[in-house]
A = this chain, B = another copy of it.
Amino acid sequence: MAGSVNKVILVGNLGADPEVRRMQSGDPVVNLRIATSESWRDRQSGERREKSEWHSIVIFNEGLAKVAEQYLKKGAKVYLEGALQTRKWTDQNGNERYTTEIVLQKFRGELQMLDSRDDGNQQSQRSTQSSYTDQSGSYGASRDLDDEIPFAPEWR
């Protein structure tokens, strides 16, 4: 079908370190759990209340999967863009189940780390990463394909 859009935009925090699995090709596939939350003042009691929502993310995009594997840790704040996908599976009792995930496909989706680099919290998060200062920490779906001047077309 022409004219279809399926897009999710999240800003939230990782509830756990990324889970990494390998494709048959050896490429990483990364699963994230991300929390977003809303707070509001209860009309009755006047108390501040808060509700978290948990999201399951699957990163098939190779470049973004590598970034996630290397740099993201429990607690990290990220900006993330993907597509909704509901998959069907069968539980141990033979019942059909459905799980909805946010998928970052090959050449699609976006992932941005939103923690400041000199944040003490982040320091510990990246303690195993010695060469981090050489990295941009900012990755679009195709940054690895697009290694040239993005904003300087020849004819202008």
The chain A residues found within 8 Å of chain B, CB to CB, are: 1-13, 21-25, 29, 35-43, 48-55, 60, 77, 79, 83-87, 91, 93, 95, 97-100, 103, 105-108, 110, 112-121, 136-138, 140-143, 145-151, 153-156
CB-contact partner of A138 in B4, B107, B119, under 8 A: B4
Given contacts A86-B54, A141-B142, contact A147 B43 (CB under 8 A): yes
CB nearest to A155 among chain B residues: B23
CB-contact partner of A107 in B8, B85, B142, under 8 A: B142
A36 touches B146 (CB 8 A): no
CB-contact partner of A12 in B6, B54, B140, B149, under 8 A: B6
Which residues of chain B are within 8 angstroms of A53 by Cβ–Cβ distance? 6, 83-86
**Knowing that A3-B115, A4-B112 are A-B contacts, what are 20 other residue pairs whose CB atoms are under 8 Å apart, sorted by A's residue number?**
A1-B35, A1-B50, A2-B137, A3-B112, A5-B79, A11-B114, A23-B153, A43-B149, A48-B136, A51-B151, A55-B84, A60-B153, A77-B114, A87-B156, A93-B93, A100-B100, A107-B142, A108-B146, A114-B114, A119-B119
